[in-house]
Amino acid sequence: MSAKKQIKKIIKYLTNKHYRDIININTGKYDNLSDEEYIKLAFKVKIGKEVDLENPKSFSEKLQWLKLFDRKPEYVSMVDKYEVKKIVADKIGEEYIIPTLGVWDSFDEIDFSALPDKFVLKCTHDSGGLVICRDKTKFNIESARKKIQKSLKNNYFYNGREWPYKNVKPRIIAEKYMEDEKTGELRDYKFFCFSGEVKLLFVATDRQTAGEEVKFDFFDSSFNHLEIKNGHPNASKKILPPVNFELMKTLAEKLSKDIPHLRVDFYEVNSKVFFGELTFYHFSGLVPFEPNEWDEKIGEWLILPDKKHE
């Protein structure tokens, strides 16, 4: 970055409170705030209005309420990318689990000679520690080490006060590389479940397309396309439902039973379904929906529990 651009950024930081708050949130300057204080500040900065925690109505507001007051111990294992596999296998079957090739506490423990030509590395405790190897002869181990070690030091909890992540043990897992022969990618089908019922989903495409931003397309429970944008643009091409759409819905509802809200992610690889992950707080409830009325509509589906779980 040129000196001129650096000076402009410094001036903007000093004179623009909104910009300063965004930078401070993203760089950990507010980590010392209480969960409620942080949530109120982050919501105002990123959503653009005060959060109502006494009488939340929108989906984004209700997710903040759940962060603070729906704290069941089992949620911790459900967001751990290694531990969750056992939970999901017990509920819907081992055949839906992507094979784990290894799990380690540190990068230096990994024996790359024992791994196949293609594999995926990810951290168990965050959302960004992901490294994909499609050809081990061209794999940059030092670049992977740098990314993974940085992720291991990150406590994902502080990014949005998603409390289940606070005590997840940072580890590294290697998984079998998965790619659909027809689409040439690993498409994500993300089901929004409310008290065990699928109401909405979105499909993530172009995730592995070089030079392309990931695309999010939202659909109702009958796979009718909805005019919603949230964080990423829609795809330019029509997206067809997965072959196993109804099976995915059934599995998602089994996994989300008796939980106020849970996003259940699946992949379809060569006409087979594989579990992805469980998410309690989509985008941490801090990315606006376009148009905004969808935030209110989705909020109507989320019935908050009567009792607070400390």
pLDDT digits (tens, 9 = 90+) for 126-142: 877 799 999 999 999 99
- The tens digit of pLDDT for each residue in 285-310 reads 999 999 999 999 999 999 999 755 44
Six token digits for residue 57: 């109505």
Residue 207 has pLDDT above 90, yes or no: no
Predicted TM-score (pTM) of this structure:
0.90
Question: With pLDDT > 90 as the criterion, what percentage of the chain qualifies?
Answer: 77
The whole-number pLDDT of residue 27 equals 72
151 occurs within a structural domain: yes
CA distance 58 to 279: 18
Residue 168 has pLDDT above 70, yes or no: yes
- Give SS3 for 273: strand
Question: 168-172, 209-213, 227-231: lowest mean pLDDT where?
Answer: 209-213
13 occurs within a structural domain: no
CB 47: neighbour CB atoms within 10 A?
20
103 occurs within a structural domain: yes
Question: 26-30, 70-74, 261-265: lowest mean pLDDT where?
Answer: 26-30
Question: With pLDDT > 70 as the criterion, what percentage of the chain qualifies?
Answer: 96
Helix spans in the chain (H): 3-15, 17-26, 35-47, 59-69, 74-79, 83-92, 141-153, 157-160, 245-255, 293-301
156 occurs within a structural domain: yes
Backbone angles phi, psi at 121, to 5 degrees: -105, 140
More confident: 78 or 186:
78
Confidence of residue 182 (pLDDT cuts 50, 70, 90): confident
Q: For 241, what's the count of Cα atoms within 13 Å in the CB-facing half-sphere?
A: 16
Rg of the chain over Cα atoms, rounded to whole angstroms, equals 20
Residue 60 has pLDDT above 80, yes or no: yes
Which residue segment(s) compose the domain that 130 sits in?
97-178
Question: 44-48, 78-82, 125-129, 297-301: lowest mean pLDDT where?
Answer: 125-129
CB 30: neighbour CB atoms within 10 A?
16
- For residue 309, what is the DSSP state? B
State which amino acid sits at residue 217.
D
110 occurs within a structural domain: yes
State which amino acid sits at residue 115.
L
Mean pLDDT along residues 5-32: 74
Q: What integer best gives the mean pLDDT of the chain? A: 92
169 occurs within a structural domain: yes
The whole-number pLDDT of residue 29 equals 82
Residue pair 273/266 in contact (Cβ under 8 Å)? The answer is yes
Residue 239 has pLDDT above 50, yes or no: yes
More confident: 13 or 228:
228
14 occurs within a structural domain: no
The whole-number pLDDT of residue 19 equals 67
More confident: 257 or 28:
257
Q: Measure Cα distances from 234 to 36, 98, 199, 238, 307 in Å.
A: 33, 28, 19, 10, 38
CA distance 200 to 216: 13
245 occurs within a structural domain: no
Total structural domains within the chain: 1
Residue 103 has pLDDT above 90, yes or no: yes
Mean pLDDT along residues 99-118: 96
Place of tokens 């949230």: 230
Confidence of residue 209 (pLDDT cuts 50, 70, 90): low
Mean pLDDT along residues 192-203: 97
Mean pLDDT along residues 219-230: 97
The whole-number pLDDT of residue 309 equals 47
